Amino acid sequence: MKSIDEITRLSAEDLERISLDESIPVPEELSARVQAAVRKPARWVLPAGVAAAVATLVAVGLTLTQNPEPKDTFDDPYLAYAEVEKVFAKISGTVAYGAEKVSQSEQTLDKLSYWK
């Protein structure tokens, strides 16, 4: 009898040839042993899957109905663009303020290190 290591080293062609070789006896209890080795899924898996799918559908449905897409504030893309521009100006203004503070701190640190 071959060991598992020997079997894993066999090529697909070798495995096919051996499986077709009727001179090799098949143990009588092999089929029963294979069936016993294959674990049946737990009984709760199927109902759990169904329940999870139903819950997903319900949750997605609730999310879509309770959180609809709002109505556009602007009908004119130029007005909408002007608003986007304002938003970026605001964001940039905050970043500029932060950058200025960092620069001031660096200057203060430079002065302190100069006097040391």
Binding site for other proteins (CB under 8 A): 44, 47-48, 51-52, 55-56, 59-60, 63, 66-74, 77-78, 80-81, 83-85, 87-99, 101
Q: How far is the CB of 72 from other proteins (least distance, A)?
A: 5
Q: Tokens 């932060």 sit at which residue?
A: 98
Q: How far apart are CA 108 and CA 100, in angstroms?
A: 12
* Nearer to other proteins (CB atom), residue 66 or residue 113: 66
* Nearer to other proteins (CB atom), residue 15 or residue 102: 102
CB atoms within 10 A of CB 10: 13
Q: How far is the CB of 109 from other proteins (least distance, A)?
A: 19
* Nearer to other proteins (CB atom), residue 31 or residue 104: 104
Q: How far apart are CA 51 and CA 49, in angstroms?
A: 5
Q: How far is the CB of 48 from other proteins (least distance, A)?
A: 4
In this structure, which amino acid lies at residue 116? K
Provide the 8-state DSSP code for 24: S
Distances (CA, A) of 85 to 89, 93, 116: 6, 12, 46
**Residue 10 φ/ψ, nearest 5 degrees:** -70, 145
* Nearer to other proteins (CB atom), residue 15 or residue 51: 51
